Structure 1
Amino acid sequence: MRELRNIEGVHPRDLTNRQRLLLGFVIGLVSVVLVLSITYNWGMRTLEDRPQSIFRSVQVVVQALTTTGFGGDAGWTSPGMNVLMTIIQVSGVVIGFVTLRVLIIPLYERTPLNLDDRLTSKSDHVVIAEYRRDTDLLLEELEELGIDYALIESDEEEAKRLSDDGYQAIKGDPEERDDLDRATIERASLLITDAGDNTASIVLTALEANEDLRVISFTESTRRERALAELGVDRSIPPHALIGRRLAEKATLPVTIDERSDADDIDVREILVRRDSPLHGARVDESPITAHPDLTLVAGWFDGELRLPLAADDELTPNTVLVVAGPESEIDDVANEIAGGRSRRIERSSTVIVAGFGEGGTAALEALPEDVSVTTIDDSADRTPDIVGDVTEPETLHDAGIEEASALIVTVDDDSTALLTIAIARSLSSEVEILVRVNDTEKVRPAFRAGADYVLAIQRVSARLVATEVHGERVMDPTSQIRLVRAEGAPFAGQRLEEARRNTERGWTVIGLSRGGTVHTDERTTIEADDDVFVAGSDAAIQEFERTVDTP
């Protein structure tokens, strides 16, 4: 009862609300016991004709209030005493609830909680030293992949919230060796840090404890990557730059095609499923591409993540980009149905506007092909954009040529500004492709409602970047593009195209063949040894194909 002892010698005006509540509770409790004891003593003498001392009456009342019994007084005959005993018993229940709420629960709430006690045994795990984005998203991704981790969070309330939600989180300062040791840093295999200017201190302290530790660090600028590498960071992740680059890739068509002329009959296209697409919510196996005999569904981008092969039950949402291979005329026939109301191919000679010329906008500009005309907009002249102005003003977008532009890439820092830019751009042009970066995952849907065609959220992409890095996969990597190559048909002789396409687990697939100067893509066509086949897949998959299948 430390709080009650602190009340002694203190003027009532100086008491805290908590102390006043406790003082009132004690005075009320004593008063109730005294009143009931005096009443009970009177009743035993007057109504039951069994006089006794007041101390005996106090004992009986306390026994009744605490439900521990009534002793030898049990068995009252007068109605008044039975009513009085009922009142005493009910009072005991009420006092019990009040005591629980006023005294017991607050004591437990004020007891310091050691979050370390909630950590499971760790070995070969991931230590996350601060994470300044949506922590829940990251931890959900890790748990879905079955990756063991320990998060060190400097904010006490946030650490407790995450721990209460079942995550492996502790409160601590990752710059302190003792706090890193609490996360079992010496047995960890990977350190992930997102601590801004404190990154260097955290990395050096962690490597001192575990020199074999692999380190991944988030950075706001690609200019810091070299310095972080000198510190011991194995991979720096600049999410703004990566997303800017990815948006630029979506605004053009990065495809490698064999030089031979008849390869022009085979095309690889990325078809965007827009928000107004009739296939929104449909599964991959319900798309018209799956059943088309001349087309092959090679891969798909889902929120910036390349999936190859696609699962039949993957859902097509307004952010899905399908990679389709086949005759150009056949692709054009299904493009409108898949994409939605607006569908036109963005050519290499197109005009692209980049709104926001910071780290993401700069990366987007660098990723765009040289023969694409680019106009950059920013409100700061220090960034040397083509147009200095407010991207939310129609006049600014008009000066940039929004009416004739093929694509608008929005990489402004503020989500509210991005949403307003989308709405204004869409009001000025119904044809322009609008590709957007937002910070908050919750702003993805509003961005689509405002008129965007493709949206990537920093929080979601950052979480997936970390999860897939830990899991050994690559996401948002410009080298993971789709390639189309020509190979000899001998390894597939006797197979129909349908059979050669079926096994997509290897990461590459046969999409057609060339015979006598004519390209065939019908799945019922049988491959002959003298044919040339066209194979599509990611860079890594094509390299594996060339090593293991396409050999002399």
Structure 2
Amino acid sequence: MPFKIKPATRRLLTLLTILPTAVLTLGTLYMLGMTHLEGTPRTLLEGIQWASESITNTGYGHDNHWEHPVMASFVIVTPFIGQFLIFLIFPVLVLPYFEEKFEVRMQHELPPMADTVLFYRYGPAIESLLEEFKRSGSRFVIFEEDLELARNLRDRKYNVVFGKLADDPGALARVKEARAVVTNAGDHANATCTMIVREHGFSGPIYALADEPIYRPPMIQIGATDVFTPAHVLGAAMASRASTRISPPAEGMHLLGTQVGLAEFRVRNGSELAGRRLGDLRLREEYGVSVIGQWREGSFTTTKGPETLIDSGAILVVVGPPLQLEKVGRMAMPIRRDGPIVLAGFGAVGRKVIEMLHDAGENCVVIDLLPGPGVDVVGNVLDNATLARAGVANASAIVLALADDSEAVFATAVVRDQAPEVPLIVRVNRTPNTARIYKAGADFAISQGQVAGQILAYHLLDEQIIPVESRIKFSRQNPGTLVGSHPWHNETLEQTGTKIVAVERSQTVLIEFDDSFRIQANDVLYVCGSLNSLERYQRQFQTGPTATRH
């Protein structure tokens, strides 16, 4: 292998050549000028001495007066040349050399890659996933092309390799041993990385994170296993939280017709529900309704028994007879489901949100700083007048799809002040900022990193990350081992996070149960819960879904 001089060393050698050459040249010109223009000859050594003093601005000793204008001009210009050499060339040539010598050396080639995932370029989309990798002890390497970012990642104890893939594709020579590859650069760079990885003989899965779905077919054609567009999935997740038409609050509600409904209530500060245990409220006994769970800071948790605490500010998910739901709603605060959906931020994510909402038949109002097709209100979302023109106080939901997290935090606080009762869904760019946005008043906040992490974790990790959207479902189940139990008074049933909301017996659907009621073998139970809690229910009571009535 031919000997290669590192760039910093090459720059230092250049400096060591420039400085002596400059001193020798200026000293010779000074010697000739003094001899032929001033008539006071100087030796070459004296000329070099003068040049070094001028360049370093240390003074001229007894040589401090010149008569000839050319010499005077020459003497005036020379210190500026010295300033240029000292203050411009030294930082460019000397400092990088010493930085390279004294800092911990960056890796420039992949280490052994057995059972290791390679991530090409770091960014917010993989931020959450890498934290999950660290938590689970899974091995990974990041190939980064930005030197400053690579140093930052190294300081954070990430295993990082720095290089320019287009200039040195051989840096990925060991990728053949890797478990998987994730490309997280721009679409063009992702394509280049995919081709280089395949050229090195890698036969495992390559997952590409793309900006545009139209690039999926060509990316797969050149070697990608699958292509995901987290920004579009993020838009879909936000739209599903804003509209019940896109993501129905409970799958299978039609099974009970109008006998049982589902509602969401925000628990106000000072409400008689806030801060109390579910068992003390006796909502089932007094009103015949069941609290399935509560949304808090974007996470849905099912209730698990009478000790469950109702959090102030949480959104309760409650099922029961419609008239009784109205009574419970007055105790908390019903979530408005009429009025338009207001969106602020009409970038790539915002456009996807609006596209889905329009497809679902929702009435939308779009706020953006710049006028354009699809923008209804031009203005700053931080301006109360803009929010008033958009009608946020009468909206059924508000979506903030802003590109800057600092702006999103402040906008969340401003919007929450103007519309305290309206569900507020907020886009986050960097996952660590999610907590700040929740503190500012968001009901649901999600980042592109969470979406990409959820997608990739399914393919790369043995465990599946909690889904972005917890769906609630009604299911017709046979009794299993619940025969002889009361539908509402069963501690084991409560621990599964599910609720029996109705019992079908002899073609009659019962939704109220006195203390003597017991489940019989031929009954059909209408069970409500999240998908995970329904799975727990089926395992616990050795039961399964029954055929739907016709």
- What secondary structure is seen at the aligned counterpart in 1 of 2:130? helix
* AA at the equivalent of 2:510: T
Q: What CA distance in whole angstroms lies between the structure 2 residues aligned with 1:317 and 1:433? A: 16
Structure 2 match to 1:192: 182
Q: What CA distance in whole angstroms lies between the structure 2 residues aligned with 1:137 and 1:381? A: 35
- What secondary structure is seen at the aligned counterpart in 2 of 1:497? coil
* AA at the equivalent of 1:259: H
Question: 1:358 and 2:347 equivalent?
Answer: yes
Asked if 2 retains the 8 angstrom alpha-carbon contact of 1:299 and 1:323, the reply is yes
Q: What CA distance in whole angstroms lies between the structure 2 residues aligned with 1:430 and 1:380? A: 27
Shift of 1:318: 9.4
Q: What CA distance in whole angstroms lies between the structure 2 residues aligned with 1:318 and 1:193? A: 42
TM-score of the two chains, using structure 1 as the length reference: 0.64
Structure 1 match to 2:229: 238
Q: What CA distance in whole angstroms lies between the structure 1 residues aligned with 2:488 and 2:316? A: 20
Q: Are the structure 2 counterparts of residues 367 and 509 from structure 1 closer, same or farther at C-alpha, using a change threshold of 3 Å?
A: farther
Q: Are the structure 2 counterparts of residues 112 and 456 from structure 1 closer, same or farther at C-alpha, using a change threshold of 3 Å?
A: closer
- 1:333-412 equivalent positions in 2, closer than 5 A: 343-347=333-337, 349-368=338-357, 370-412=360-402
Quick one: which of 199, 215, 233 aligns to 2:206?
215
Shift of 1:469: 4.4
Shift of 1:411: 0.8
Shift of 1:130: 0.7
Q: What CA distance in whole angstroms lies between the structure 2 residues aligned with 1:213 and 1:225? A: 18
Q: Are the structure 2 counterparts of residues 399 and 217 from structure 1 closer, same or farther at C-alpha, using a change threshold of 3 Å?
A: same
Q: Unmatched 5+ residue regions in structure 1?
A: 16-105
Q: What CA distance in whole angstroms lies between the structure 1 residues aligned with 2:269 and 2:429? A: 20
Shift of 1:128: 0.7
Superimposed CA distance per residue, residues 232-288 of structure 1 (whole angstroms, 9 cap, x where no aligned partner): 44443333332332222222342223434x4544444556689999999x9xx9666
Q: Are the structure 2 counterparts of residues 126 and 7 from structure 1 closer, same or farther at C-alpha, using a change threshold of 3 Å?
A: closer
Q: Unmatched 5+ residue regions in structure 2?
A: 1-8, 24-48, 54-97
* AA at the equivalent of 1:531: D
* AA at the equivalent of 2:353: A
* AA at the equivalent of 1:435: I
Structure 2 match to 1:180: 172
TM-score of the two chains, using structure 2 as the length reference: 0.64
Q: What CA distance in whole angstroms lies between the structure 2 residues aligned with 1:256 and 1:222? A: 29
Q: Which moved more, 1:270-279 or 1:438-447?
A: 270-279
Superimposed CA distance per residue, residues 332-371 of structure 1 (whole angstroms, 9 cap, x where no aligned partner): 677788x8xxx32242x44211122222223323443735
Q: Are the structure 2 counterparts of residues 235 and 483 from structure 1 closer, same or farther at C-alpha, using a change threshold of 3 Å?
A: farther
Q: What CA distance in whole angstroms lies between the structure 2 residues aligned with 1:275 and 1:321? A: 12
Structure 2 match to 1:533: 525
Structure 2 match to 1:43: none
Pairs aligned (count): 447
- 1:393-542 equivalent positions in 2, closer than 5 A: 393-441=383-431, 443-448=433-438, 450-471=440-461, 473=464, 481-489=471-479, 492-497=482-487, 502=492, 510-515=500-505, 516-520=508-512, 526-537=518-529
* AA at the equivalent of 2:346: F
Superimposed CA distance per residue, residues 153-184 of structure 1 (whole angstroms, 9 cap, x where no aligned partner): 22234333333433222223455542223xx4
Asked if 2 retains the 8 angstrom alpha-carbon contact of 1:300 and 1:310, the reply is no
| CA RMSD between the two structures | 5.0
Q: Which moved more, 1:125-134 or 1:374-383?
A: 374-383
Structure 1 match to 2:545: 550
Q: What CA distance in whole angstroms lies between the structure 2 residues aligned with 1:225 and 1:108? A: 40
Q: Are the structure 2 counterparts of residues 190 and 331 from structure 1 closer, same or farther at C-alpha, using a change threshold of 3 Å?
A: farther
Shift of 1:185: 2.1
Quick one: which of 218, 233, 257 aligns to 2:252?
257
Structure 2 match to 1:46: none
Structure 2 match to 1:55: none
Q: What CA distance in whole angstroms lies between the structure 2 residues aligned with 1:309 and 1:146? A: 32
- What secondary structure is seen at the aligned counterpart in 2 of 1:140? helix
Q: Which moved more, 1:289-298 or 1:378-387?
A: 289-298
Structure 2 match to 1:51: none
Structure 1 match to 2:219: 228
Quick one: which of 148, 157, 166 aligns to 2:139?
148
Quick one: which of 120, 127, 130 aligns to 1:129?
120
Q: What CA distance in whole angstroms lies between the structure 1 residues aligned with 2:191 and 2:139? A: 24
- What secondary structure is seen at the aligned counterpart in 1 of 2:141? strand
Q: Are the structure 2 counterparts of residues 430 and 541 from structure 1 closer, same or farther at C-alpha, using a change threshold of 3 Å?
A: closer
* AA at the equivalent of 1:180: L
Q: What CA distance in whole angstroms lies between the structure 1 residues aligned with 2:224 and 2:263? A: 37
Quick one: which of 107, 113, 116 aligns to 2:105?
113
* AA at the equivalent of 2:149: E
Shift of 1:325: 4.7
Shift of 1:321: 6.2
Asked if 1 retains the 8 angstrom alpha-carbon contact of 2:481 and 2:543, the reply is no
Q: What CA distance in whole angstroms lies between the structure 2 residues aligned with 1:286 and 1:402? A: 33
Q: Are the structure 2 counterparts of residues 129 and 286 from structure 1 closer, same or farther at C-alpha, using a change threshold of 3 Å?
A: farther
- 1:82-93 equivalent positions in 2, closer than 5 A: none
Question: 1:171 and 2:162 equivalent?
Answer: yes
Q: What CA distance in whole angstroms lies between the structure 1 residues aligned with 2:445 and 2:373? A: 24
* AA at the equivalent of 2:518: T
Asked if 2 retains the 8 angstrom alpha-carbon contact of 1:297 and 1:323, the reply is yes
Superimposed CA distance per residue, residues 382-420 of structure 1 (whole angstroms, 9 cap, x where no aligned partner): 443334444344343333222321211111223344345
